[in-house]
Amino acid sequence: MKKITVFLACLAAFAMVFGFTVTAAMADVDLYGSVRFRTYWADKDKDFTGTGYDDEDLEWRLGHLSRWGVNYKSGNVSGKVELDARATDTATGSSMKGEIRVRHLYGEWDFGSGKLLIGQTFNPCTVYSSGIGYYSGGIQKFGGLGLEYFRTSQIRLTFDNLVLALLTPDHDEKPDAAPAGGWVDTDTTIPRLEARYSLKLDPVAIDFMGGFQTYDVVDINDHEETIDSYQLGIYARTNWGPAYFKGVLTYAQNGANYGLWSSTVVDQAAVYENGDIDDAECWGGSIVAGLKVNDMLTLEGSAGFASSENDDQDLKNEDDAQVYTLLAKITLAPGVIVQPELIYEDRDDRWDNGVKTEQGDAVIGGVFWVINFK
C-alpha cells in the first residue's frame, strides 16, 4: 500500500511538472523578482511624534516593495501574479515575523476593440511621479490619487487611451463624530467608479483622472446619512533631452471616505455635525524635476503638498502638509541600484474645531537599495 501511495505521489508530481512545462512552452511566461532594502535615519521633532519627545530612529531592513512574480501571455489572454515579502518586525527585520502578501493577481482578455481585466491591481488613478523609495510609492501620499490600499479588486475595461474601472467599495472610514449610539451599519449599492484618459501632445503627455463613490451610514435609530466622495486629477509629464518634468494636481471631496492614501497625512473625512454631514474639501499636488546625467546616474528633486478643510463646520477645521525630496539614482549594473535620498517632511499646523495643534517636522536621510533579477 505504501509503495502504491509513493508511486501515485510521484505520478502526480510528474504530471504537475510536465503540465507546467507544456503550458510554459505554449505560452510566454516571464519570471522575475526584485529585492529592496531600506537603510534610513529619521530625526523627528516632538510635535511630529506627538509624544512630547524628539525621536531619532534607524531603519535597517527588507523593504516593503520586495517582490517576485510571473507575467503570463498566451494569444489574446494575459495575466500577472505578484507576491511580496514584508518584515513586520521593524526593530529586527526577523523572518519569524515576516508576511507574504498578494500584490497583483489578475487576468486580462484582449477582445480586439478593447481589453477586459478582472482581479487585483493598481487603481486607474495611481500615479508614480516621484522615484523616492522611502514612502513605498513615490510621494503620492502628498497630493496624489493613489489609494491607501494601493492595489484593489476591480473589473476594468480599456479602450485605447481610455480606462474605466469598477472597484471594490471602501467604507471603512466613518464620518468624524456620530449621533448618540454611534453608527451601527453601512449600506453600499454600487462599486467605486474610476476613469482615466491619456492624451499625448508631443512632447507633453497628459492624463485626466476621476473617481466617485457613495455609501450610507446608519445610526442606532435606523436613520441614514449619505457619504458622497469623489476625486479629480491631472497628471502631466515631458522630456527635454536628458531632463524630465512631471506634475500632478488633485481635488477631492471626503478623500478619507474614498480611501485616498493622502488621508493618512491630512484629515480628509466627512464630519457629522448639527444633525447633518459636512463634506471635507481636499487639494494636493506635486512637481518633479530630474536629469539623466548618464546611464549610471540620474538626479531628481520633488515637492508635494496635501491640504484639507471643512468650511461647513461651525469652527475652523484645516490640515496641511508638505514634503521636499532629493535623490541620486546610481545604477551599478543592469538591475542593481543604489539610491541615496534626503527628505524634509513638514506636517504644518492642524485645526480641530478651532483648536490649533503643531504637528512638527522630520528629516529623513538614507539609501534605498535594489537588485532586480529575471
Name the more confident of 296 and 306: 296
Give whichever of 106-110, 174-178, 258-262 has the largest mean pLDDT.
Answer: 106-110
354 or 248: whose pLDDT is higher? 248
* Grid cell at residue 320: 496641511
Q: Is residue 137 left, alpha or beta, with left meaning phi > 0 and alpha meaning psi from -120 to 50?
A: left
Identify the residue whose cell numbers are 515576516: 98
Quick one: pLDDT band at residue 22, thresholds 50, 70, 90? very low
Is the CB of residue 211 less than 8 Å from the CB of residue 258? Answer: yes
Q: Are 340 and 354 in contact (CB under 8 A)?
A: no
CA atoms within 13 A on the CB side of 311: 3
Q: What is the pLDDT of residues 156-214, one digit of tens each?
A: 999 999 999 999 998 888 888 888 888 999 999 999 999 999 999 989 999 999 999 99
Going from N- to C-terminal start, the domains of the chain cover 28-373
Query: What distance in Å separates the CA atoms of residue 27 and residue 75, rounded to the nearest whole number?
Result: 8
Contact 363, 343 (CB under 8 A): yes
CATH class of 28-373: mainly beta
If you average pLDDT over residues 25-53, what whole number do you get? 90
Rounded Cα gap, residues 289 and 26, in angstroms: 44
Res 297 pLDDT > 90: yes
Element (H, E) at 195: strand 192-201
pLDDT at residue 229, rounded to an integer = 95
DSSP string, 327-356: EEEEEEETTEEEEEEEEEEE--EEEETTEE
Average pLDDT, the chain: 87
Q: Give yes or no for residue 17 having a pLDDT over 60.
A: no
Tens digit of pLDDT for each residue in 46-97? 988 888 889 999 999 888 789 999 999 999 999 999 999 876 666 566 565 5
Predicted confidence (pLDDT) per residue in 117-154, tens digit: 999 999 999 888 899 999 988 888 887 777 877 899 99
* Per-residue DSSP letter, 140: T
Cβ(63)–Cβ(136) below 8 Å: yes
List of residues 6+ apart from 290 with CB closer than 8 A: 131, 243, 244, 245, 298, 299, 300, 301
Task: Look at residue 3 and tell me whether its pLDDT is greater than 50.
Answer: no
Q: Of 246, 235, 175, 247, nearest to 210 (Cα)?
A: 235
Q: Indicate the pTM of the whole model.
A: 0.86
What is the pLDDT, as a whole number, of residue 361? 92
Q: What pLDDT was estimated at residue 351?
A: 82
Q: Give one word for 299, left, alpha or beta, with left for phi > 0 and alpha for psi -120 to 50.
A: beta
- Name 53's Cβ contacts closer than 8 Å, sequence gap at least 6: 46
Distance from first CA to last CA of the chain, Å, rounded? 43
In the predicted model, is pLDDT for residue 41 greater than 80? Answer: yes
Note the pLDDT of residue 89.
63
